[in-house]
Every structure is written in C-alpha cells, then in structure tokens.
Chain A
C-alpha cells in the first residue's frame, strides 16, 4: 500500500515529503503510553470503587454490580462531556480516556450534542453513531469470526454448555 502510493508521486514530491518528514515533530509515543496507562488505570480504579460500593452498600453480588457500575461510569462521562471537560482530559490522557467505556459514551454524547441543531431525528439520531458506529460494526464482525473459530475448534462448548 505504502509503496504503491509512493510510486504515484513525482520525484519532486518525494523529495519534499522527505524534507517535510524531518521537520515533523514526532508524536511523544512513550509519554503518551505512560499517560494512557495512568489515566486509563485511574478510570478503571474509579470503576472498581463504584462496583465495590454497589457490592458492600447496596447488597449486589459481584456479577449483578457490573451493570449499574457501567451505567454510573457512562453517566459520569456524559456529564463531563456536556460540561466541556472530557475533551480537555482526553488531550492529556489520549488512549487512556478513549479505551474504557467512558470513551465510548463520550463519542456518542459529543456527536449527539454537536448535531442537536440539525434536529432530533436526522441530527441526534442520525449522527450519534458517527464515531461509535464503526466500533459496533467491526466489534460484531470480530465477534462473528471469533465465534466461528470457536465453533470449528471447540464444537462441544458451543451453546453455552
């Protein structure tokens, strides 16, 4: 892919791209990784704390507590998005805020807020999955293939038995 793209460029363009590459500040990968680790971990820690609260104070079992925990995390994320804070945290945190469920909630809430002006149906309804849509589509596709492999290599376990 990269090679076929390069072939279409004229020598002048190639020379320029090499020059431009040297001037391009590199993404701070290590710093981003550390920040993502810290922020993602913090979000998960908060999630864990919420789950423990449901278990100890509300009498849920560990399994039952996971659903309300996710709901609380989504709510927090949506509130922070509405207040215009989430995107600022995300510029610092990077993948740390994108990967957990809060990132998914943010992608939907931000799109819904952004397109509110275009109406409830075509704006909010139509554009809400602008960013989250591909995640769902390819998540389902991936799940299908994993299920298929599971069926081929471990047929006995299919059907939840």
Chain B
C-alpha cells in the first residue's frame, strides 16, 4: 500500500522463507566467506564463457533458495530479477531454465532491492503466493562489458571498484518462518553530473541519501528506528561522501549504525580492490547471506538495505554523458518484531 509519496508499506508482512548466496573464489577469500552457501573455486564455474558462468551462478542460487524454502520450482508464481548485462541476459537465460513466470527488471546494482521490493509487493497484495527475487553479477562479464578485456593490463585508479562475482536469491511468501519485509521506498534517478565510470561511489552517493531521506519522510521515522542501515555499493569514496551529505542535510545517522556492503565483502588489507566492491551481486549476497544470518542470530531486529545503482551504459559514457544513479530501500525486520 502506498505510504507517503514514494513508499510501500507491506501490511501483511511477507516473509523471506528461503534464501541462498553463491559466490566466486575471490569473495570466498573475504571476511564474509562463512555466510555464503556455495563458494566456487573456479571463476568460470566450468562453463565455456563468462556470461554462461554468471547465468550458472544465478541458477544455483535460485534453485538453492527454492530448496531452502521447502518448495519446488512449480510452486513459485513469479520470478523477479535482473543483472548488469545488456538485455539482462544472465537473468533471462536463467529464467529459461527455471521455467517460472518471469518479470525481468533493470536497476543496475540497485536490482537486488528493487527485485525484493517488487516481489514483496506482489506477495503482500495477494498477487502471488510465492515470489522469487534475485540479483547477480560477475566480475569478468562486467569488466568485459563496461571496461576492458579481463586480461588487459590497465592500471585502475584508487576510486575504482571491484565487481562482485555472486548471486543472491530469496523466496518471499505470504506466511512462514523467516525475516519479514515490511516496507520499501522506490528511489528517484539522481544525476549530479559525475561522468567518471571509475568513480561510481561518488556518482551514487546522492541517490542513496535522497532515497534514505525520502524513506524517513514517508514513514515519519528517524534513523534510530533501525538497528542498522546499509547502502549497497558506495565503497570508501561514496560512503564518505554520503556521511558528509547526511551531516549537511542534518539527518541524525548517529542514532544508528551505518555501513556499506561494498566495504564489507573484501578485506582491504589482503585483497587489492581499490575503493571496494560493486555490482548487483554485492548487496544481494551481503544482505541474503551475512546480514540475514546476523538477524537470525538476533543481532539486529530491524535493518534498512539501500541498494544503489549507476544506470550507465558503455555507450553513454563514451558519448560523454554523466552517470544517472538510483537507490531503492527495503526494510527487513526479524520475525520476533510485532508490527
């Protein structure tokens, strides 16, 4: 149901009854390795192209999430998902395998929460019994499409981010055990004129701040309502800018803990990732793996996940266009919390 100007409140409190995360070898060496369901040792997953490897990642995550929910593919009404590839081929091709009625979406790296918001809305409005939401990305496919060939020797600036190889999927249901999806705020596209594709954190930070402020305005709450607020993949540069913007706009973020998924998945000391992580898979695997595990352990009761996306294409930045960005927020509560 609409709340305020751009938010949905899910009054029936749909639950995430199954979730799964599948990652590549590099993520498996990071500090969150324990929280992932499957860690692949081979970046190609035994496939003959990077694109097929990304599709395979998503298929595994989707199947495992359905299995963890105690369901079969036939019971899922809708599959909502997207990725970074042109024409979202990874997700569409996985949907071909899964044979679940499919809603393909694109929100760049904000897809993880966009898909969860749409899936939760479908379930909450009784348009679906079970909906599967997903997001995936692969380091090599993203490098190939947006930057240079993976083996090309180019030096990355310190603002660059490393695309996560990973897929996260969740099954949202009308009832059942699991964390509850309680509300979502759909973001506006914000463009502050940043045009450097190697500095996406700075491009996306204003979108994250805009959506978070809109969320507080629509629900008339303050940051202290949440035990944790995380942004998707701003990484070091964007995170610092976001903190500055919160100060400037007088948003009392000190009431809560504010983190960024892009700064959690890799070990800056050991893994050379410049500013941090990015990609659809980043916020998806950190949320569905790490954060919901911590929620299950009662470390948090309420979290707000704000996935951020840079809506550029390889053509748009070559033509000198700036990078439009978006962020979508979804609040997840532990089932112990009563509305």
Spell out A's residues near B (CB within 8 Å): 9, 12-14, 16-17, 19-20, 23-28, 32, 81-82, 84, 86-87, 89-91, 93-95, 97-98, 103, 106-107, 109-111, 113-115, 117, 130-131
Contact = CB atoms under 8 A, between A and B. Distances in A.
Contacts of B149: 110-111, 113-115, 130-131
B193 A13 contact: yes
A137 to B, nearest CB: 16
A84 B237 contact: no
Nearest to B238: A23
Contact-size category for B:
20 to 34
A131 B149 CA distance: 9
B193 A86 contact: no
Interface in B37-55: 48-51
Nearest to B206: A16
A27 B157 contact: yes
A28 B159 CA distance: 12
CB-CB nearest 7 A-B residue pairs:
A90-B153, A114-B149, A110-B151, A117-B49, A110-B149, A110-B152, A94-B155
A82 B237 CA distance: 33
B21 interface: no
A98 B194 contact: no
Given A13-B192, A91-B272, A111-B149, A20 B155 contact: no
Contact of A86 (B151, B159, B275): B151
A24 B49 CA distance: 35
B48 A97 contact: no
A114 B194 contact: no
Given A107-B152, A114-B144, A117-B49, A17 B158 contact: no
Residue among B48, B193, B237, B240 with the most chain A CB within 10 A? B193
A116 to B, nearest CB: 8
A93 B158 CA distance: 14
Contacts of A110: 148-153
B96 interface: no
A31 B151 CA distance: 23
Given A23-B241, A23-B244, A89 B153 contact: yes
Contacts of A89: 153
B120 interface: no
B199 A113 contact: no
Contacts of B245: 19
Given A16-B193, A91-B272, A103 B153 contact: yes
Contacts of A111: 149, 152
A46 B260 CA distance: 45
Nearest to B49: A117
A117 B51 contact: yes
A84 B152 CA distance: 9
8 contacts: A16-B193, A17-B192, A23-B240, A24-B199, A32-B155, A90-B152, A90-B155, A106-B153
B296 interface: no
A83 B214 CA distance: 49
Nearest to B151: A110
Interface in B241-262: 241, 244-245
B237 A16 contact: no
Given A19-B241, A24-B202, A117-B49, A109 B151 contact: yes
A107 B153 CA distance: 7
Contacts of B159: 24-25
Nearest to B320: A5
A103 B152 CA distance: 9
Contacts of B157: 27
Contacts of B294: none
A23 to B, nearest CB: 5
B154 interface: yes
A23 B49 CA distance: 38
B225 interface: no
B153 A97 contact: yes
B48 A117 contact: yes
Contacts of B206: 16
A12 B237 CA distance: 19
A11 to B, nearest CB: 11
